Amino acid sequence: MKTAATEMFGIEAPVFAFSHCRDVVVATSKAGGFGVLGAAWMTPEHLEQELKWIDDHIDGLPYGVDMVFSSTSTTVDFKESPRDILPKEHREFINHLLDEDGVPPLPEDEEKGWYAEYARNLAFSPEASEALLDVALRHPVKLVVSALGVAPDHIIKRVHDHGAKFGALVGSVRQAQKQVEAGVDLIVAQGSEAGGHTGQITSLVLWPEIIDAVAPVPVLAAGGVGRGRQMAAALALGAEGVWCGTIWLGTVESELTPDMREVLYAARPEDAIITYGYTGKSCRAIRSKYTEAWLRPDAPQPLKTTPLQSILSGEPFRRVERARRKDWMTYSAGQIVGRVNEPTTVKNVMYDMILEYAEAIERLAQINEA
């Protein structure tokens, strides 16, 4: 296979794997694709550790990092506990529901230790982004992706000077055009069926619109891609490759706990719903008692100011994880979660994808010979 994306990075198959897990990054690059580490909420120390591990295991193959480049700071200024900055009404609402349903509270040391660190990592600032970029550029990363927003000129220049490409994830034609004007080399166009923060336009409609709007800048197709026929569809629509996230969550390499993995195996496409309860923004995640709670008539409005609702979610998520309460667990996932049904490996997912892709191409050829 030969597309602008395979040529850009010298890879065999234009399959880009977004993952918070270094094992998935390494396994996809080794299987002929391209792994991208989601680094947005890591500390510089943590990112250094992950990239060193990747360098030690990836056999010199290309990989990338994905982070948030913010132009404004979100300060999280709390004294002892993240609770101090959250509205009492919100905390009490969700914690009361968990109490009532028999989910034990956090031990006090967790609240002050783990929870405080968790909350601090969610706040971002230009300085924090640049500190992460400093780490990334000490490693042979070949692609830096902005998960949210347009990066400042000097950031894109630093990445280019490093010899790497700069990409950006977008959910609309307008966002794509802004990114191209800012000088990105690659657009990741994400349809509404994607997991995480997502827009309203579906992949089938959005991809070709963005592809036409930013040509000749290459576009990777994201949102709803987890099998070979979807990859064939993406290339038929004009994409230069695919960008997948959800499909890796069920692999043995993924970062998820065994409980969370089981939640994903059980989820159908219609369980990957839009919730505002997770982060305060439109986010596709698995339906659970947690997402349902925020739809109750007595629920307070989710906190819109980033990252308050995410910080708020931290405590209940941790309570639920400790109590192993799968009925309350949620995680960002797209509608393709319906294909995440049993333990498998990254290599198997890649193999199945390429095989089904080849079958789809063969079928198309037969249709058109006649």
Q: Least Å distance between CB 142 and a copy of itself?
A: 20
Q: Which one, 206 or 264, has the nearer CB to a copy of itself?
A: 206
3 state SS of 87: coil
Q: Least Å distance between CB 296 and a copy of itself?
A: 17
Q: Which one, 288 or 335, has the nearer CB to a copy of itself?
A: 335
Residue type, 222: A
Q: What Å distances lie between residue 126 and 69, 143, 307, CA to CA?
A: 7, 19, 15
Q: Which one, 246 or 306, has the nearer CB to a copy of itself?
A: 246
Sites of contact with a copy of itself (CB under 8 A): 1-3, 172, 191-193, 199-206, 208-209, 223-225, 227, 229-230, 232-238, 269-270, 273, 335-336, 338, 360-361, 363-370
Q: Least Å distance between CB 104 and a copy of itself?
A: 34
Distance CA 110, CA 115 (A): 6
Q: Which one, 71 or 301, has the nearer CB to a copy of itself?
A: 301
Q: Least Å distance between CB 132 and a copy of itself?
A: 32
Q: What Å distances lie between residue 314 and 69, 251, 321, CA to CA?
A: 22, 24, 10
Q: Which one, 85 or 204, has the nearer CB to a copy of itself?
A: 204
Q: Least Å distance between CB 307 and a copy of itself?
A: 26
Q: Least Å distance between CB 215 and a copy of itself?
A: 13
Let me know: does 226 contact 336? Beta carbons within 8 Å.
yes
Q: Which one, 236 or 355, has the nearer CB to a copy of itself?
A: 236
- Tokens 């990741």 correspond to 188
Q: Encoding tokens for residue 190?
A: 């994400």
CA dihedral 20, 22, 24, 27 (to 10 degrees): 160
Q: Which one, 50 or 240, has the nearer CB to a copy of itself?
A: 240
Q: Least Å distance between CB 29 and a copy of itself?
A: 20
Helix (H) or strand (E) holding 273: strand 272-275
Q: Encoding tokens for residue 306?
A: 């980033």
Let me know: does 290 contact 329? Beta carbons within 8 Å.
yes
Nearest to 256 by CA among 286, 279, 226, 283: 286
